[in-house]
Amino acid sequence: MTPPAQPAEGQPTGEKPDGAHPLGLLPGRRGGLTAAEVAERVARGEVNDVPVRSSRSAGEIVRANVLTRFNAIIGVMFAIILVVGPLQDGLFGLVIVANTAIGIIQELRAKKTLDSLALIGEARPQVRRDGSVQQIAVGAIVLDDTVLLGIGDKVIVDGEVTEADGLEIDESLLTGEPDPVLKHPGDQVMSGSFVVAGAGAFTATKVGREAYAAQLAEEASRFTLVKSELRSGIDSILRFITWLLVPTAIGLIISQLAVEGRDWREAVRRMIAGIVPMVPEGLVLLTSVAFAIGVIRLGRKQCLVQELPAIEGLARVDTVCLDKTGTLTEGGMDVVDLRVIGTDEDRGAGDARSTPDDRGTLKETVVRALAVMAGADARPNPSMQAVIDAYGDGRGTGAGANGANGGDAGWRVIEAMPFSSARKWSGVQLLEPRGGEASWLLGAPDVLLPAGHPALTEVDELGAQGLRVLLLGRTPVPLDSPDPADGLRPLALVVLQQRLREDAADTLRYFESQQVEAKVISGDAAVSVGAVAAHLGLPGADRPVDARTLPAEPQALADTAEGTTVFGRVTPQQKRLLVGALQSRGRTVAMTGDGVNDVLALKDADIGVAMGSGSDATKAVAQIVLLNNSFAVLPSVVAEGRRVIGNIERVAGLFLVKTVYSVLLALLVIITHSPYPFLPRHSTVLSTLTIGVPAFFLALAPNNERARTGFVRRVLRLAIPGGVIAGTATFTAYALARANHATDLESDTSVATLTLFLVAIWVLAIVARPYNWWRLLLIGTMGGAFTLVLTVPWLSDFFQLSLSGTRDPWIGVGIAVTAGLVLEVVWRIMRRRIDD
């Protein structure tokens, strides 16, 4: 440990320039690079030019939407139609172009939203240049820059430590080593690590793509997807369809060439009409569009989604672990009481060289000590900031809120140990006014005092009111001893009041209504955490557990984690273990937090949610960042996820019903050596009116159904029987029409088109449930549009549809109604099996 920073020469005591780092510019320390030196390095390209990627590039978005296997299939079919004609049979190609354009536009809009939000939440490190502290963009750091560090800061580039004031770096995300590393001048720091205690500075030795974290990013780009059942399920379905499509298409080609041997152009058109509907071309598009629109909607609420499927992930969460400070409470707090628990004997007892100042009362001595301790803290946390606000910072800042003068020339800091979440206290070794030397510690009472100490009774009483309590004590034991708290004499209790978030109670009630279990995991005293949780109405808050009593055995830990709602005195490593224990029981866990002590748990959770005001390290590992620090945004994220999952499941059923009936029709045509029932133009109008347009509206509609696992199983259980029924009904009507007039292929095709439309619109009516006004209007509009196609002369001519007589059309209608009734029965049976 090194002595804490003292004010620079020529700078008024206790005052810092705007934006200055706690270390500032100290005597004998380098003034950093000059503007000319920075310009030289920029000219040489020695800049940290690695872009922060919050989204895919525009080129990647275009390629992902254009260069797909199904677009390739459709593109080849479209090119063939352009050769054999007529143009109306190539409408499916124009639909694909329009769909792809919509997908690109929506994803580019989402990218714009993500990138603008990422700039808001981007870390802005402080560097020392031209003799002053400056805050710059990450990409503006150059080689040999002096970068300043404080608690919660992420190490942006690799470097060598030049200054250290109790600087502790957590490298667990890089090395897996859980214990923080105490750094001294000359030690190396790696980008991707973060500060958990103290302050310091380092000289950048590797920037840009040379830095360690940038090399890792090259191997695994930041735009990687969290586990997504939706995407993986759709990919599995598409792979299966691809393998099914190839042999079916080959058989259909051979069959149609054999049947229409004298008119090869007609054979090619009908072959293409059979292949194109097999391709669920809009399914991937609508999935991407649904995610993109979700990002845009959440962006309007200042919610940065750093990985798109995190929206889906949070919707699947059944357990959310909350850090109390900064999540349920606001970041700031206030000193509401200072309770002296020592006696006046404490200020003058013992040898003169080991006693505090004996002038005035003990409370005055405590206030002076608190002010000096606050001034020695290079990067005060919210608790210490509250002390500064109340009593000053001991460097001539004048009276605090309680009127105590913090400055006292008789006190001098010899050594300082900053606060650490692991040890739960901070301390200073002071040379006192009468020449005595002692260590003063400020921290968790139940950590600094032995169990059963009388002062802990008062601490528990205050904690039960939801107040945060710190103990100030004095000991002759040096700070660098193995146990500085040994022989500690408690002198005072600093009572702090935390500010509850106004929206916290409503958000907790929302999670409870959605059967998502909330657990509070905090480093504060268990009694205090339980009181805050109880005030917010969290079930089980009356039985908080002190994490120091948690079992080490994994199974026992998992049992406790599942059965407990509130945990106190949790170390960062224990937060991580609790998340892992819940996951071991099949839970899907989200973790929210804002402090550096939450980083490990956020990294291991299925979904990490960070507050925008949180540390750089916290925001770097989270998938979702609430830039406006509003806990109330989380229900919106859950709602967006449920909308995406539920609606994509709906439209996936529509697309796959089409694929199944297309494959079945192709097989029946091959077996019976019949002409394929449709031309490409018929497939286009059927797909557009029963799937394409309705699916677009259904994919973007509100949906509050709880997300469930088993996406592929549920979709196929409904799509396969639906497709089989639709295909069978269509081919039956087509075969009966052909038996009546085998030479009038246009009439036969028209009957088959009518039958398939009626069955497909029935499928749409089932998928669109539960009904509301706009869904009924949607179904009615699609039916009306098809009626116009059949009855308006120029439309019926364009699509080559003509119903001859009344017998065959009415037979087709009867078959369609029968198929619809069978659909209803099968749908109910399958739905019951899925729900069971």
Cα–Cα distance between 173 and 516 in angstroms, integer? 29
- In angstroms, the Cα distances linking 745 to 257, 287, 487, 740, 750 are 16, 38, 101, 11, 9
What is the rounded end-to-end Cα distance, in angstroms, of the chain? 62
Contact 644, 315 (CB under 8 A): yes
Nearest residue to 273 (alpha-carbon basis) of 669, 761, 619: 669
Cα–Cα distance between 726 and 734 in angstroms, integer? 12
Cα–Cα distance between 691 and 756 in angstroms, integer? 12
The phi, psi pair for 32, rounded to 5°, reads 80, 180
> Which tokens hold the place of 212?
């360690």
Q: What is the torsional sign of CA 608, 614, 616, 617? A: negative
Cα–Cα distance between 788 and 472 in angstroms, integer? 84
Contact 164, 226 (CB under 8 A): no
Helical residues (DSSP H) of 632-710, grouped into ranges = 634-672, 680-687, 693-699
Contact 786, 753 (CB under 8 A): no
Cα–Cα distance between 648 and 711 in angstroms, integer? 10
- In angstroms, the Cα distances linking 565 to 391, 422, 524 are 36, 22, 15
Cα–Cα distance between 499 and 482 in angstroms, integer? 36
- In angstroms, the Cα distances linking 645 to 54, 288, 831 are 22, 12, 17
Calculated CA dihedral for residues 149, 152, 154, 160, nearest 10 degrees: 30
Is 836 annotated as catalytic?
Answer: no
Cα–Cα distance between 457 and 448 in angstroms, integer? 14
Cα–Cα distance between 823 and 628 in angstroms, integer? 49
Across 119-256, the runs of DSSP E, i.e. the strands, are 126-129, 132-135, 146-149, 158-170, 181-182, 188-189, 194-206
The phi, psi pair for 336, rounded to 5°, reads -110, -15
Cα–Cα distance between 594 and 71 in angstroms, integer? 44
The phi, psi pair for 412, rounded to 5°, reads -140, 135
- Read off the amino acid at residue 260: E
Which entry of 153, 158, 170, 323 is annotated as an active-site residue?
A: 323
Q: Which residue has the tokens 């001539």?
A: 396
Across 289-346, the runs of DSSP E, i.e. the strands, are 303-305, 319-322, 329-340
Cα–Cα distance between 765 and 772 in angstroms, integer? 12
- Read off the amino acid at residue 548: R
Neighbours of 140 (CB within 10 A): 17
Q: Which residue has the tokens 């190539």?
A: 90
Active site residues: 323
